[in-house]
Amino acid sequence: AKPLVTLNFHHILAKLNVAVKTVSGFTSDIIVKNITITGLNDTGEYTDATGWTSSSVDAGYKLQYDDATGAVLSDKATYFIESLIMPQEMDGKLTLVYEIKSGSYTETYTYVVDIEDVFSLYTSFDKESNYTITFTIDPTNDAIKFEANAATWEEK
């Protein structure tokens, strides 16, 4: 009989996902045009003895979804970024650009957030871990609220 071999597999990377959805019943189209994550370490060296070392950030490195046509959202989460990353501190920025289209009128919105603010309970991306950021765009819940009034000018 052949001896059994036990193979233990461990991920040495972390996984970072970004998903976006909207609320059901919203009649206008919400279209994701761009999602960009910058400020992540992109180079390093791994050994079993010491783990990850020599990590650095290249200013040009980014994780990105970019589509001029864009993707129309539904109330089911759509994943735009699914990427393996090196374990590292939660530095960096995430920028989400989307449009709301109603008939012939289109409004573009840009949302920027520090990644460390998204994961308030964590300070770093750890190996063997899967991190997902899900944005819910809800224009029916006072996403943008402003008041306008008019008054006459006073003569001086």
pLDDT, one tens digit per residue, over 22-36 is 988 888 999 999 999
- State the pLDDT at residue 149: 28
CA dist list (Å): 130 to 11, 39, 86, 106: 10, 19, 12, 35
Is the pLDDT reported for residue 5 higher than 90?
no
Mean pLDDT of 75-90: 92
Is the pLDDT reported for residue 148 higher than 60?
no
Q: How confident is the model at residue 142 (pLDDT cuts 50, 70, 90)?
A: low
Rounded to whole angstroms, the Cα distance separating 11 from 132 reads 17
Rounded to whole angstroms, the Cα distance separating 49 from 65 reads 35
Q: What percent of the chain has pLDDT over 90?
A: 38
Q: What share of the chain is helix, strand, coil (3-state, %, to 5)?
A: 5, 50, 45
- CA 103 from chain centre, in angstroms, equals 28
Contact residues for 107 (Cβ-Cβ < 8 A; gap 6+) = 99, 100
Q: 95-109 b/e with 16+ CB inside 10 Å = b?
A: ebbbbbeeeeeeeee
pLDDT tens digits along 103-121: 899 999 999 989 888 887 7
38 C-beta neighbours (distance < 10 Å), count: 17
- State the pLDDT at residue 1: 74
* pLDDT mean across residues, the chain: 84
Is the pLDDT reported for residue 79 higher than 90?
yes
Q: How confident is the model at residue 144 (pLDDT cuts 50, 70, 90)?
A: very low
Rounded to whole angstroms, the Cα distance separating 139 from 100 reads 9
Is the pLDDT reported for residue 39 higher than 80?
yes
Mean pLDDT of 63-87: 94
Place of tokens 């920027």: 112
63 C-beta neighbours (distance < 10 Å), count: 19
